[in-house]
Amino acid sequence: MARTITAIDIGSSKICTLIGEVTEPDVVRVIGIGVVPSRGVSHGVITDLEEATLAIGESIQKAERIAQMTVTRAYISAGGPHISSQNKSGSTSIGKGDRPIDREDLQRALDAAQTIPVSHNRQIIYCTAREYTLDEEAVTKNPLGLLGYTLLVDAHVITANATSISNLANCVRRNHVDIVEYVPQPIASATAVLSAEEMNDGVAVVDIGAETTSLSIYVLGTPFDTRVYPVGGTHFTNDMVVGLHTPIATAEEIKLRYGHLLPSAVPADEKIDVSTFGEQVISSIQRRFVAEIMGARMEDILDHFILRDIKRSGYDGLLAAGIVLTGGASLSPGMAEMVQSTLHLPARVALPRRLHGLTETISSPAYATAVGLLLHGMRRETVDRAIPVMEGNPSLLSRVIRLFRNILPK
Ligand SMILES: Nc1ncnc2c1ncn2[C@@H]1O[C@H](COP(=O)(O)OP(=O)(O)OP(=O)(O)O)[C@@H](O)[C@H]1O
Ligand SMILES: [Mg+2]
């Protein structure tokens, strides 16, 4: 029987469950999709346990119905501005240098890199090797099988607010689904949209969602910096509520129909009709004004967050593959041109990698995180061959509940 993998992206505007079937190593076929509007989630974190649990459950059930199976374990995206990252090293002794380095040695070195002081309200949710150094000189990405005395790993460690993660876990577990691994949202999105060449050449992925924007900087094939900011597509809409004096639903519609980030690209005489607050009147405004509002917000996101942190990383001017934009709000016309001219780097808007099976819905930048989660899970369970079950084995109670779910008619 083919192995199935489930990914659940809990976003601020939508929750997306994807069920994939691994048909052969490194090939995943989507057999179930469940997308529902988010409830109880704000800026990427759970703010209402009951509502979020229900919404996550609806998303899972939709996907289960299509895939005709019961989900028992899943890879979960961890988002929100509480996510932060650092690069740390850790070393392990191999012994007398007379035996080849094995996977356990790699894990011991990674464990050592994670022995960092973490305040009581933070926890490490993700750790990946960037490169290894053998006996203080030979630098390698893959030391397996080599001989050496000491192995040092340079690792990218991502931490999160411990209570935010516990709240997320509670919502998922209340739906009788065990968490295989938390994948930070910036890592999942990058996994979906980057080629191996871009990761090697140096690239920044910017996922602009509804209430958060994430940044991940990859150099030499691995993540160097990952961050999440509390701004997103909703801010463009809210700016228009204020600027055009229009209700939120109208502002969102105008953004989707007439939005643009480059005022100069919109004809000066183009007018659009807008219904305003209070009096039921329709006023005619210049579409260019909408572009000015949206352009100003995008400039702010780039200056205050993206450019600032690319500079802080020290890779300013060294990201040869430029900027890859994704997330629902990256669909605003003029996005790539604006980012390119502001940051003086090549920029493109990216769809998630094309998968097999039910891919029509997910062929949009808004699904980059969900697709990346599925790809990450597939690689963990086929290519890496080691399944890091962080949360321990399913409890007896959840196994019994699942047994009943399988027996009872849906
Ligand atoms: N064609 C479009 N033009 C402009 N904005 C768009 C378009 N389509 C979607 N959006 C915006 O994208 C945002 C939703 O993006 P996405 O689905 O990636 O968010 P999310 O993953 O739910 O949220 P987050 O990642 O912030 O937690 C909304 O603000 C929506 O208005
Ligand atoms: Mg998102």
- Nearest CA owner, ligand 1 atom 25: 209
Q: Residue for token digits 């400039």?
A: 299
pLDDT of residue 24: 86
The three-state (H, E, C) secondary structure of 189-227, written as one string: HHHHHCCHHHHHHCEEEEEECCCCEEEEEEECCEEEEEE
> 401 C-alpha to center of ligand 2: Å?
30
Atom in ligand 1 nearest the alpha carbon of residue 185:
25
d(C-alpha 281, C-alpha 319), whole Å: 49
The best mutation among 9, 12, 13, 326 to test binding of ligand 1, ranked by most ligand atoms within 8 Å of the C-beta, falls on 13
d(C-alpha 200, C-alpha 320), whole Å: 9
92 DSSP β-pair partners: 151
CB under 8 Å to 200, separation ≥6 — which residues? 220, 221
> 9 C-alpha to center of ligand 1: Å?
13
pLDDT of residue 283: 83
Q: Do the beta carbons of residue 7 and residue 32 sit within 8 Å?
A: no
CATH 3.30.1490.110 location in the chain: 84-162
Reading the block at residue 116, the tokens are: 């960092």
> 26 C-alpha to center of ligand 1: Å?
29
CATH 3.30.420.40 location in the chain: 234-294
pLDDT of residue 6: 98
- Nearest CA owner, ligand 1 atom 8: 328
84-162 CATH:
3.30.1490.110
pLDDT of residue 138: 84
How does pLDDT run across 224-252, given as a tens digit for each residue? 999 999 999 999 999 999 999 899 999 99
Does the C-beta of 80 come closer than 6 Å to ligand 1?
no
The ligand that comes nearest to the alpha carbon of residue 254 is 1
Q: What are phi and psi of 278, to 5 degrees?
A: 70, -105
Task: Give the mean pLDDT per block of 10 residues along the chain (410 residues).
Answer: 92 98 90 98 98 98 98 98 97 92 96 91 96 92 95 97 98 98 98 97 98 97 97 98 93 96 96 77 89 98 97 92 98 98 97 93 97 96 56 37 40
The three-state (H, E, C) secondary structure of 133-167, written as one string: EECCCEEECCCCCCCCCEEEEEEEEEEEEHHHHHH
The best mutation among 8, 9, 12, 239 to test binding of ligand 1, ranked by most ligand atoms within 8 Å of the C-beta, falls on 12
Q: Residue for token digits 């509940």?
A: 401
Reading the block at residue 318, the tokens are: 């060294």
Does the C-beta of 297 come closer than 6 Å to ligand 1?
no
How many other CB atoms are found less than 10 A from the CB of residue 400? 11
Q: Do the beta carbons of residue 186 and residue 207 sit within 8 Å?
A: yes
| 234-294: CATH, from 2.60.120.1440, 3.30.700.30, 3.20.20.10, 3.30.420.40 | 3.30.420.40
> 356 C-alpha to center of ligand 1: Å?
24
Does the C-beta of 130 come closer than 6 Å to ligand 1?
no
The number of residues making up the chain comes to: 410
d(C-alpha 75, C-alpha 92), whole Å: 29
CA 394, 398, 403, 409 torsion: positive or negative? negative
Q: Do the beta carbons of residue 95 and residue 124 sit within 8 Å?
A: no
Does the C-beta of 332 come closer than 6 Å to ligand 1?
yes
pLDDT of residue 99: 92
How does pLDDT run across 302-344, given as a tens digit for each residue? 999 999 999 999 998 899 999 999 999 999 999 999 999 999 9
